[in-house]
Structure 1
């Protein structure tokens, strides 16, 4: 799979499309062969479990889509919250700040908020807990989570489910201009025709 291409994965129900994506993401172990990514490549998957993030705010759920950034943020917060901040902690904090800046961490919250707004999630909801959202709103947040931070490899299983025409059009445009690798499973032929370079 080559960066800049969007691969549409099609087949009858039960043919193994979703399982194939799960093998690529490491959720399912392949019976033969192996899955290899380039060094340091980041993989992002559109999560199907709508209850996995119920205890987190909408904005944090999106930020968690970029796991290395999220982990750096959490470690940084924990360090600065320590009552007995040592010299060693100061050195570690310096390393974390550098890594955070390299990952565009200072723009992360505004980037996440812009992504949510583009997907039709109102700003008033960004601070709400995921459990307080409707099923359709959750779908949009999880889609924002998958897209957040422009991962090197993006796996989308039925991304247009529960989206309205305007949001689908936005997603088509977004993926058509995406510079990294995308694999998408969908039954929406118009959507596949719009975004896929290969099927």
Structure 2
């Protein structure tokens, strides 16, 4: 669950939004719509902690995390769709990358095998 409390975002004298309160509850699918320049991307950057609000707070439920995919449509052209999605979960991506690098080693050792088994467990 994501909870937004008394959120304000202001750039100079321009107030983008203020006193925003909402809860994104588990099991629901949400869409954020509005005109260009209305603050949709800014709101998502605040929720994902990429931008600090002028006032208010955003909190996640215990043990929850938020993954974000950049809006740059060309940033991931060299990656598969699966890799692009996994990059949104930084820890999982790092585990998978290390695991794959070990599997590709031509001189795979017993120590590598032990490390791969640890990484496979984390990945699962």
More helix by share: 1
More strand by share: 2
Aligned partner of 1:36 in structure 2 is 59
| RMSD of Structure 2 on Structure 1 (CA) | 2.7
In our comparison, the structure showing a higher alpha carbon Rg is 2
Provide TM-score, normalisation by structure 2: 0.60
Q: Does the C-alpha gap of structure 1 residues 14 and 42 become closer, same or farther in structure 2, counting only changes over 3 Å? A: same
Structure 1: stretches of 5+ with no match in the other structure: 102-199
Secondary structure of 1:49's aligned partner: coil
CA distance in 1, matches of 2:60, 2:110: 38
Given that 1:79 and 1:85 are in contact with CA atoms closer than 8 Å, whether structure 2 keeps it comes out as: no
Aligned partner of 2:109 in structure 1 is 85
Residue deviations 1:17-42 (CA, integer Å, cap 9, x gap): 22111100122122222322224323
Question: Which of the pair has the greater relative contact order for Cα pairs under 8 Å at 6+ separation?
Answer: 1
Residue-pair matches, total? 100
Provide TM-score, normalisation by structure 1: 0.41
Moved over 6 A (4+): none
